[in-house]
Structure 1
Amino acid sequence: MTAPINTAMDNLCAAQKSNIIPNQEYLLQGSVVDKSVEVLLHRLRGLCDNVDSGPETFSDHEMCFSIRRGSPQEQPLLLRVRRSMEPNFADMPWQLRYIGQPELGDKSRPTIVRSSIDIATSNTVVDFLTELGCKLDYEYITRGYIFRKGRMKIIVSKIIKVNQMNKVPESVPDYITPSYLVELSVLAPSGQDAIAEDMRVFAEQLRPLVQLEKIDYKRLVH
């Protein structure tokens, strides 16, 4: 089995050097109040692909873990585990995601850029992370709609609390805010900054319904 493993590693290294692995996420975020979301969904149906079939719906349970790599002053490594709660996708793999620190860059850059790597896993991934020493920081549920425009993905979703018994609410959802989160994102290999300008142009078409912008997370924390 050594030869196939070596070949796979060689192929992976070659792909990384050729910048064909999507390991960067370009991101804009905003929100829209509940009473205006139908107008936004109607606008997105007109702008995005697959107008006839309509947007995809989803319901995901997401758990956010962290682990310290060294001194307390260092930023912890952040990992996210996501699983679908849709009955039709019960057999789908779970998703483990690494997200790096946002790079706001200069003011002329249209979007946030951050490292992002997604891996399909089995449903034992939570046990695996716990054994590694990762700590569950928080978890939540997202339900909403996914639109696509070329390489761009637009998500309009509600964020729902997980109850005190660490159970997913089955009857009346406990929404965190009276608004929808709107995210415009693209996963692409390093060095494809031109996509950020396409995202800016698309975001302008959604004004004034929603203002998609770069979010300075450090400013929110402090």
Structure 2
Amino acid sequence: MTAPISTAMDSLTAALKSNIIPNQEYLLQGSVLDTSVEVLLHRLRGLCDNVDHGPEGFYDHEMCFSIRRSTPQEQPLLLRVRRTLDASNADMPWQLRYIGQPELGDKSRPTIVRSSIDIATSNTVVEFLTELGCKLDFEYVTRGYMFRKGRMKITVSKIFKVNQGKVPEGVPEMISQSYLVELSVLAPSGQDAIAEDMRIFAEQLRPLVQLEKIDYKRLVH
């Protein structure tokens, strides 16, 4: 199995260097109370592209894995596996996602920028990651709505805590009385002008929700 993996990694590295696939995620995050979410959804329906058909609903189970690098000083590699729990979309492939460490960079930069690569996979991906030595750190269920505005994706989702190994049979538990709101764009590297477009769009959602770049290191410490 080593040779095919090595070949695939070489091909992926070459693709990233040539900027032919989206490998950077520009991200802003915020939250809105349950009591105000309907007002926010109404605002988004008026601002976004899918106004005629309404927002796209989703009901997903996400598992977050990590694998240690060769030296303790290096940050672990973070991988996420997402699958739909919606019976009407049961034939959709599972999704494997690599997420790099956030690059906060210049304080004047409007958004977080981080490496991000999405790959459609079969439902055996969890077993594959386990055999590679990945550790399941946590998992959760998200249920909500997705909007589009050009290249921008806006999700408004409720997050539920679940017991490991009991999804979807287990009863999910709400984590908070609010919804997570995320504004993101996936694009090839070197397109920082996108961040300014996101800032302008985020301003149109104030004061219903304040979307900002989150300093994860500050939250940890």
- Structure 2: how far apart are the matches of 1:28 and 1:120? 24
Give the match's secondary structure for 2:109: coil
The equivalent of 2:4 in structure 1 is none
Kept in 1: contact 2:24–2:186 (CA 8 A): yes
The equivalent of 2:3 in structure 1 is none
Deviations 1:99-152 (A, max 9, x none): 000000111100000000001110000000000100000000000000000000
Aligned letter for 1:78? L
- TM-score (ref. length: structure 2): 0.91
- Structure 2: how far apart are the matches of 1:105 and 1:207? 25
The equivalent of 1:149 in structure 2 is 149
Q: Which has the larger displacement, 166-175 or 80-89?
A: 166-175
Give the match's secondary structure for 2:194: helix
Cα 1:9–1:102 change in 2 (3 A) is closer
Aligned letter for 1:70? S
Between the aligned residues of both structures, percent identity stands at 86
The equivalent of 1:55 in structure 2 is 55
The equivalent of 1:111 in structure 2 is 111
* Structural mapping, 1:68-83, within 5 Å: 68-83=68-83
Aligned letter for 1:52? D
- Structure 1: how far apart are the matches of 2:54 and 2:150? 15
Cα 1:152–1:124 change in 2 (3 A) is same
- Structure 1: how far apart are the matches of 2:37 and 2:193? 29
The equivalent of 1:218 in structure 2 is 217
Q: Which has the larger displacement, 98-107 or 9-18?
A: 9-18
- Structure 2: how far apart are the matches of 1:102 and 1:216? 8
The equivalent of 2:192 in structure 1 is 193
Cα 1:176–1:75 change in 2 (3 A) is same
Deviations 1:187-221 (A, max 9, x none): 00000000000000000000000000000000000
Cα 1:46–1:170 change in 2 (3 A) is farther
* Structural mapping, 1:1-222, within 5 Å: 15-163=15-163, 166-168=165-167, 173-222=172-221
Number of corresponding residues: 214
The equivalent of 1:4 in structure 2 is none
Kept in 1: contact 2:45–2:55 (CA 8 A): yes
Give the match's secondary structure for 1:203: helix
Q: Which has the larger displacement, 167-176 or 148-157?
A: 167-176
Cα 1:218–1:21 change in 2 (3 A) is same
Q: Which runs of 4+ in 1 moved over 4 A?
A: 8-15, 169-172
